[in-house]
């Protein structure tokens, strides 16, 4: 929660600084943003590839577990596609790309901004931050009405870190490995999904 | 072309990360550096939005659309989980009974 607030505060600081003409032009220069983005993608990869936990987790995977992230992604995309009918200003592919953020708001909003511009990028930032917050706040209700897998699926990419504690509390400790695995797989897939959709 | 670069840099990072798995120094640098670049990029996203009148004027509408997309995605995954979940996690769900 603190992390999402920090990200949002950073976004607001940039917005205010720019709106009040207090920032040097460097921050919005495409070359600067592209180079920083490539550094970020590289570091995300290093984090995933270098995490010993990732490789230990692979040994504990069952076939059923591999279906959990697929279920989360397919369900999200179906839901987003249904809702996009109500949003005539947004194309289906764009709505699906926002949904593919799966709660990974930092990377998804930056990637989408780079591929489709600020409007869709801001939408991705807001929609995915909200996903994390709604999951954190309503995980107990999700567990009660949608089964113990509910909070894991709702958490999306965040199930591996920020929403993991609440998932374990609501779904039980036996869901911890499933949640970490699902969140990790989704986190890896988010950039690929967005790149494929836009 | 940008999409291709995204995939290439990510895969490159995964390979380098896997090769440097035992180098604790690389791992201890990667995390904070990643958080720093994320904050920098989100800040520059804010700066780009602040300079874009069209987005600024439509922030309210964007917020409403974000709520809809978020709830749609959540509802879709929860609904699918409710249908498929019990069968999928039958070995794992003694608590459900």
Considering chain A, what is the average pLDDT of its residues? 88
Residues of chain A found within 8 Å of residue B16, distances taken between Cβ atoms: 42, 45-46, 49
Which pLDDT score, from 0 to 100, does residue A112 have? 94
Instruction: Report ipTM for this prediction.
Output: 0.85
Indicate the domain borders of chain B.
Answer: 61-87
Burial label for B85, CB within 10 Å (0-12, 13-18, 19+), is buried
Which chain B residues are within 8 Å of A145, Cβ to Cβ?
Answer: 82
Contact yes or no for A80 and B63 at CB 8 A: no
Closest chain A residue to B22, measured at CA: A50
The answer, yes or no, to whether residue A186 has pLDDT greater than 90, is yes
A84 inside domain: yes
Residue carrying structure tokens 């498929």: B84
Cβ atoms of A13 and B46 within 8 Å: the answer is yes
Residue A23, in any domain of the structure: no
| Alpha carbon distance B94, B22 (integer Å) | 39
Domain limits for position A73: 30-40+62-197
Interface test with A, best of B25, B39, B44 (most A CBs within 10 A): B44
Q: Is B74 on the interface with A (CB under 8 A)?
A: yes
Number of alpha helices (DSSP H) and beta strands (DSSP E) in chain B:
4, 0
Domain count, chain A: 1
Q: What is the pLDDT of residues A23-42, one digit of tens each?
A: 887 777 778 888 888 898 89
The DSSP string of A153-177 is: HHHGGGGGTTTHHHHHHHH-GGGHH
The DSSP 8-state label assigned to residue A23 in this structure reads S
Residue A73 maps to a domain: yes
Could you give the 3-state DSSP secondary structure of residue A178? helix
Does residue A45 fall inside a structural domain?
A: no
For residue A130, give Cα distances in angstroms to A165, A196, B13: 18, 24, 29
Asked if residue A22 belongs to a domain, the reply is no
Give the per-residue pLDDT at B93. 45
């Amino acid at each position: 929660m603190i992390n999402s607030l920090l990200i949002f505060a950073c976004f607001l600081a940039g917005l205010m600084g720019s709106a009040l003409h207090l920032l040097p032009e460097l921050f919005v220069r495409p070359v600067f943003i592209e180079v920083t983005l490539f550094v970020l993608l590289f570091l995300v990869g290093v984090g995933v590839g270098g995490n010993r936990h990732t490789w230990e987790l692979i040994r504990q995977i069952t076939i059923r577990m591999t279906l959990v992230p697929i279920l989360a992604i397919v369900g999200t995309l179906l839901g987003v596609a249904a809702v996009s009918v109500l949003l005539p200003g947004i194309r289906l592919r764009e709505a699906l790309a926002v949904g593919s953020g799966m709660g990974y708001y930092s990377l998804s909003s930056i990637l989408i901004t780079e591929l489709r511009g600020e409007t869709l990028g801001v939408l991705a930032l807001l929609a995915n931050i909200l996903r994390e917050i709604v999951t954190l706040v309503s995980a107990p209700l999700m567990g009660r009405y949608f089964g113990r897998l509910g909070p894991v699926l709702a958490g999306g990419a965040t199930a591996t870190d920020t929403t993991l504690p609440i998932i374990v509390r609501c779904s039980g400790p036996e869901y911890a490995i499933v949640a970490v695995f699902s969140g990790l797989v989704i986190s890896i897939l988010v950039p690929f999904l967005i790149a494929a959709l836009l | 072309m940008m999409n291709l670069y995204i995939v290439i840099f990510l895969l490159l990072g995964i390979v380098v990360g896997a090769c440097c798995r035992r180098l604790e120094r690389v791992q201890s640098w990667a995390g904070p550096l990643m958080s720093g670049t994320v904050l920098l990029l989100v800040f520059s996203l804010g700066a780009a939005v602040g300079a874009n009148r069209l987005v600024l004027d439509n922030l309210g509408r964007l917020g409403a659309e974000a709520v809809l997309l978020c709830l749609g995605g959540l509802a879709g995954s929860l609904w699918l989980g409710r249908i498929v979940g019990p069968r999928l996690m039958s070995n794992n769900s003694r608590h459900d009974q």
